[in-house]
């Protein structure tokens, strides 16, 4: 393509090398920004008219032309050109072709540097709102499931070894806490995304009497950026989002890992619906938990994107550099991956069958009430370290006899500590163990129900905050 067709044609006397043109073009992936680019351009044109830089009729022509271009893109009629480099120049060139010389006035008091930064912020802001809504929906799924399983006893684990009995409802509330924090992080990050770079120009602002407050208000930004150098070169808002997204994926991965484990015959806690599993090409009996496994695996790509973005920015001097073109593919893929992953888990859980009897039976294994025995002895006057030792001797007896602690005769329990009396036996049941932790954050069904009610209030509050 001859240099006369480029936006920067005046400086150059030779055409761009064909390979370099393809190598430096971004339209292959940044075209998805078209709607937000057009929105920013319309606001910019109307501001230019409002302050007298262009005429009102010219702003109307530009707005009409951009609207027609958007419709063509929506309908698949728009022809994208690698020679026009990116989404921004493709749209501007098409505008000029449609409305003539007036289209060339759109870029007055604007650089691609502040244009790109604004477009990316608009795009990410919408993406954040969508992901926050998805997290809220997933939170509601968790709470509905927790309500149903308030009294379902299951083993709690540390080191993947049976530790103490909990309820499935209490366990699911732990999942809820993870994603609630994730939503809070996105809402917090949105405030730093919601700052408008337009008006910063290439790096040093503009000599035209623009009204940045007007443009910011039209685009829904909280305020214009304060420093022109920072406005065009900062990408920490992309990195911050990707860091929050990586944490979301880490949380989804941990949940998915539990679903994978729980679906094995060795655990047998759940049955995943057939629609979320696949089979084996050679082993007819197989039912593979592909969706949870992919949730676990997709966390790696988002974590990788975070690393890539950090490395991308670490060596850049102020202000804008072409390196920043490389921020978009990690950003786009992160948004897509988190969006699809949240949808997958949100749809998978309601279709999952939880085997309550198996969970209860497995909670009896591994002497999960040993801590309750130690606590009983403390309440009867023994120092905790001595109580811990006495409970350990009781566990050793039970292992030797091949029985549970609750099945040991009182006489044998008393050999571990003379403080043990017949009132120990209700304490050594799963239900007794759960009931004993009847305090804030505890596992007693009453506490779990109250925690769910509080969680619903917190979720509602978060929804209101996001809407505000």
The CA distance from 130 to 107, in Å, is 31
The CA distance from 193 to 273, in Å, is 39
8 Å CB contact between 451 and 442:
no
**Quick one: which H or E segment has residue 20?**
helix 18-24
Residue of 98, 127, 107 whose CA lies nearest to 32:
127
CA-based radius of gyration for the chain: 30
Structure tokens at 166: 């909990």
Strand 270-271 and strand 353-354: the pairing is: antiparallel
> Which residue, chain included where needed, has tokens 């060596």?
315
SS3 content of the chain, % helix, strand, coil (to 5): 70, 5, 25
Q: Give catalytic status of residue 159 as yes or no.
A: yes
Ramachandran assignment for 277, one of left (phi > 0), alpha (psi -120 to 50 degrees), beta (any other): beta
In eight-state DSSP terms, residue 323 is G
Give SS3 for 278. strand
- Which parts of 221-355 are beta strand (E)? 223-224, 270-271, 353-354
Q: Give catalytic status of residue 280 as yes or no.
A: yes
Structure tokens at 237: 């808002």
**Quick one: which H or E segment has residue 133?**
helix 112-148
- Sequence-distant (≥ 6) Cβ neighbours of residue 153 within 8 angstroms: 165, 166, 167, 168, 356, 359, 360, 363, 430, 431, 434
Q: How remote is the C-alpha of 452 from its chain's centroid?
A: 22
Give SS3 for 148. helix
- Sequence-distant (≥ 6) Cβ neighbours of residue 118 within 8 angstroms: 40, 196, 197, 198, 219
The CA distance from 463 to 348, in Å, is 23
* List 159, 207, 281, 439, catalytic entry: 159
8 Å CB contact between 87 and 27:
yes
Q: Cβ of 108: how many Cβ atoms within 10 Å?
A: 14
* List 44, 207, 280, 355, catalytic entry: 280
The CA distance from 30 to 22, in Å, is 14
Q: Which residues are catalytic?
A: 159, 280
């Amino acid at each position: 393509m001859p240099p006369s067709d480029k936006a920067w044609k005046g400086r150059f006397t030779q055409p761009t090398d064909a390979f370099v043109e393809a190598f430096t073009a971004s339209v292959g992936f940044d075209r998805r920004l078209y709607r937000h680019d057009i929105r920013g351009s319309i606001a910019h044109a109307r501001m230019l008219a409002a302050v007298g830089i262009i005429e009102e009729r010219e702003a109307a022509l530009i707005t009409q032309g951009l609207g027609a271009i958007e419709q063509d893109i929506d309908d698949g009629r728009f022809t994208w050109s690698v020679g026009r480099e990116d989404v921004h120049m493709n749209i501007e060139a098409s505008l000029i072709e449609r409305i003539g010389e007036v289209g060339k006035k759109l870029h007055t008091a604007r650089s691609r540097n502040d244009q790109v930064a604004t477009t990316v912020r608009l795009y990410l802001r919408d993406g954040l709102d969508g992901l926050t809504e998805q997290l809220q929906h997933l939170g509601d799924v968790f709470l509905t499931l927790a309500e149903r399983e308030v009294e379902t006893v299951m083993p709690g684990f540390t080191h993947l070894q049976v530790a103490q009995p909990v309820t499935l409802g209490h366990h699911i509330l732990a999942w809820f806490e993870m994603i609630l924090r994730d939503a809070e992080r996105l809402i917090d990050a949105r405030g730093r995304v919601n700052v408008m770079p337009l008006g910063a120009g290439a790096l040093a602002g503009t000599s035209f009497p623009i009204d940045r407050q007007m443009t910011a208000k039209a685009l829904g930004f909280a305020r214009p950026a304060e420093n022109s150098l920072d406005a065009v070169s900062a990408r920490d808002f992309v990195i911050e989002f990707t860091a929050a997204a990586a944490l979301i994926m880490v949380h989804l991965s941990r949940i998915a890992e539990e679903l994978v484990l729980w679906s094995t015959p060795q655990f047998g806690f759940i049955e995943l619906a057939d629609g979320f599993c696949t089979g084996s090409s050679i082993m007819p009996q197989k039912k593979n938990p592909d969706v949870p496994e992919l949730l676990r695996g997709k966390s790696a790509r988002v974590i990788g994107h975070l690393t890539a973005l950090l490395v991308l920015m670490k060596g850049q001097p102020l202000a804008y550099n072409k390196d920043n073109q490389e921020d978009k593919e990690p950003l786009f893929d992160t948004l897509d991956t988190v969006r699809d992953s949240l949808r997958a888990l949100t749809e998978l859980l309601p279709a999952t069958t939880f085997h309550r009897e198996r969970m209860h039976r497995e909670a009896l294994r591994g002497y999960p009430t040993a801590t309750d025995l130690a606590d009983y002895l403390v309440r009867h006057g023994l120092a905790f370290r001595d109580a811990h030792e006495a409970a350990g001797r009781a566990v050793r007896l039970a292992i030797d006899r091949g029985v549970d602690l609750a099945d040991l005769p009182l006489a044998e329990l008393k050999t571990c500590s003379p403080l043990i009396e017949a009132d120990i036996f209700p304490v050594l049941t799963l239900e007794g163990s759960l009931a004993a932790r009847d305090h804030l954050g505890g596992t007693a069904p009453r506490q779990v129900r109250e925690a769910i009610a509080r969680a619903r209030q917190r979720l509602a509050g978060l929804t209101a905050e996001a809407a505000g």
